[in-house]
Structure 1
Amino acid sequence: MNDLVQRLSEGKHAVTVGGPKPSLAEFQQRIETMGFVFIKFTETRGGTDLGVRVDKEATDVRQADFEQGTGMVHVEGTLTLNYVKVRCIADIDLASLNGTGNLVILEEVLS
């Protein structure tokens, strides 16, 4: 198993909204329209910015007020990291665009 994937699947880790120009408006658009967000794990060497396909069924924005920039967003989605299929789970505070997250290992892809 890949070391990075293993570490990020154990416990909760500091995350922030990632991508080229992270902002509240872009985060909202990515969740609601594009279905693809960037979640950055900040405690790895240089940070690990992951592109996550949003699972709309598992993502919860009911506690979020995007217009006021307050509340929490629970984001879940899938991706492949270092040949391992994973689910990224993150809780993001809209006031700071920071939060906590982790990976759940789904399966290792043989290369």
Structure 2
Amino acid sequence: MTRFTDEQMQAAMTQTREYTVVLLEAGPQHDTDGARAIIWEHGRRNFELRADGILNIVCPIADDSPLCGVGIFSGTPDEIRRVMDEDPGVRAGVFTYQLHPARSFPGDSLLA
């Protein structure tokens, strides 16, 4: 394991940026007729947000919990709240969400 000194850690911490973590949960309309089509459009919007550099990491959750996905967005919670309020799944009640301010290192990514 690579070791870091306190000085290296302090220097690296100055490079962090603010992000917003979104926890997407099943809403009251999640299991209704027509929800699949709305979820498809939600996914299309995620592709657009990724292409525009707003949604950095998106992780659909594939278990039986109410949690449907986790996203890491560039922007403040207030900015991302406006983005999420326009999501077709949120607008239709298929999803609800929670916002959490966070910090991370620019350039972090999932390994291929």
Same fold by TM-score, threshold 0.5 exceeded? no
Greater RCO, 1 or 2 (C-alpha within 8 Å, sep 6+): 2
TM-score (structure 1 length as normaliser): 0.30
Name the one with the larger helix percent: 2
TM-score (structure 2 length as normaliser): 0.30
Larger radius of gyration: 2
